[in-house]
Amino acid sequence: MKKLLFLMVVLALLVSLAIPFAAPASADLTSTPTISTDATKYSVGEPMVISGSGFTASGTVNITVQEPGNNGADILSASTDTDGSFQTTYYPPMVPGRYKITATDGTNSALAAATEADAAGANLDQGSNGAASAPTSPVAWQNGNLNPNNSHFMEGYSVPYRLVMDGLTPGSTITVEIGWAIRDSGANALDFITQYQRLEPHAGFGHPAEVVQPLDGVTGVSATVSTFPIPAPSSAGSPVPGQPTTEFNSLPAAERVMTLFGGTITAMDYIAQGSLTAASSDTYANITFTTDNSTAVLAWGGHIAEAAIWGAGNSAT
């Protein structure tokens, strides 16, 4: 990400949305196979257990989940038992609407259709701390680009992010997938993620560091605050031996956590970590949690890659 202060961070985000399923319909030639789901209504990110019967015994069933609006399909496979039954789990993306699930073993097929999803959603914001001559504290949450007119960030700081989620089912288990650009335009960008409040040292600006308040302007969140350790990023294939792992591990433990307001984080892991030498690459991670109310806020920071670590011309600014 050349010139981080002039570009909005590319942060792809997938969050599962509530998807109620109708009773399954079936279509078959001989054995009348059927597939069904374990519930009639799902919350954001809640896994869907798909079960089937009437398929070829001790075989393989290929399952296709068509996303709403023909925006792509996810393919799963499952092995049947000696009775021709199977069970597998599907983790839906953040796409509200009508899903269609089909399953086939090459001879027998079945279909289940979903009704419209609930109006659950998620909004990703980044924190602007104002121009250096006119700081904003607490930071202002926005969706637009960060630039010197609205922000003053230095290499080594962490850009604050928050994900405001609403329409959740209280007590449900949710998995959120986030992604960030670790390389952009041939240079390092956000080389890892951190806790959300990392704007020190700040004395050079002539004023105190701005405060990051992830709940600013948000209502309906329970008093529960949960943190979970962020796994250390990989340094595999790094042009600078040991980095960014060494720099990440040098931070205090309190600065290496993901924070959830309104629930409890139970797991976090990387799905894929991007190349440290490609012109552009992204890293993706899953965060799993339970929510107390219908609204929850996830907060973290994107660490601005430093020339002191990666070398001149290879940092984020």
CATH number at residue 80: 2.60.40.1930
Task: Give per-residue pLDDT as tens, 73-85.
Answer: 889 999 999 999 9
Q: What is the mean pLDDT of residues 174-201?
A: 93
Q: Which of 95, 113, 131 is the last residue of a domain?
A: 113
Same domain, 158 and 242: yes
260 within domain boundaries: yes
Nearest to 269 by CA among 227, 229, 225: 229
Confidence of residue 40 (pLDDT cuts 50, 70, 90): low
% of the chain at pLDDT higher than 90: 60
Please give the tally of structural domains in the chain.
2
Q: What is the mean pLDDT of residues 165-176?
A: 85
Burial class of residue 298 in the structure, from the number of CB atoms within 10 Å of its CB (0-12 exposed, 13-18 middle, 19+ buried): buried
20 within domain boundaries: no
pLDDT given for residue 97 in this prediction: 62
Task: Give per-residue pLDDT as tens, 103-162.
Answer: 999 888 777 644 334 445 778 899 999 999 999 999 999 988 888 999 999 999 999 999
% of the chain at pLDDT higher than 70: 82
Q: Which of 84, 113, 142 is the last residue of a domain?
A: 113
Higher pLDDT, 23 or 61: 61
pLDDT given for residue 35 in this prediction: 87
Across 148-184, b (16+ Cβ under 10 Å) vs e yields eebbbbebbbbbbbbbbbbbbbeebbbbbbbbbbbbb
285 within domain boundaries: yes
317 within domain boundaries: no
168 within domain boundaries: yes
Task: Give per-residue pLDDT as tens, 24-39.
Answer: 333 233 457 888 877 6
**Which two tokens mark 34?**
């059927």
Same domain, 182 and 259: yes
Task: Give per-residue pLDDT as tens, 247-263.
Answer: 999 999 999 999 999 99
Q: Which of 59, 81, 113 is the last residue of a domain?
A: 113
Q: What is the domain extent for residue 258?
A: 4-15+120-310
Same domain, 128 and 254: yes
Is the pLDDT at 12 greater than 60, yes or no? no
**Which two tokens mark 14?**
């997938």
pLDDT given for residue 76 in this prediction: 93
Q: What is the mean pLDDT of the chain?
A: 84
Longest dimension (CA), the chain: 78
Same domain, 164 and 102: no
282 within domain boundaries: yes
Same domain, 199 and 223: yes
Higher pLDDT, 212 or 144: 212
Nearest to 176 by CA among 265, 66, 98: 265
49 within domain boundaries: yes
153 within domain boundaries: yes
Same domain, 94 and 150: no
Same domain, 41 and 190: no
Same domain, 9 and 32: no
Confidence of residue 279 (pLDDT cuts 50, 70, 90): very high
Ranges 94-98, 228-232, 285-289: which has the least confidence: 94-98
| Model confidence, pTM | 0.69
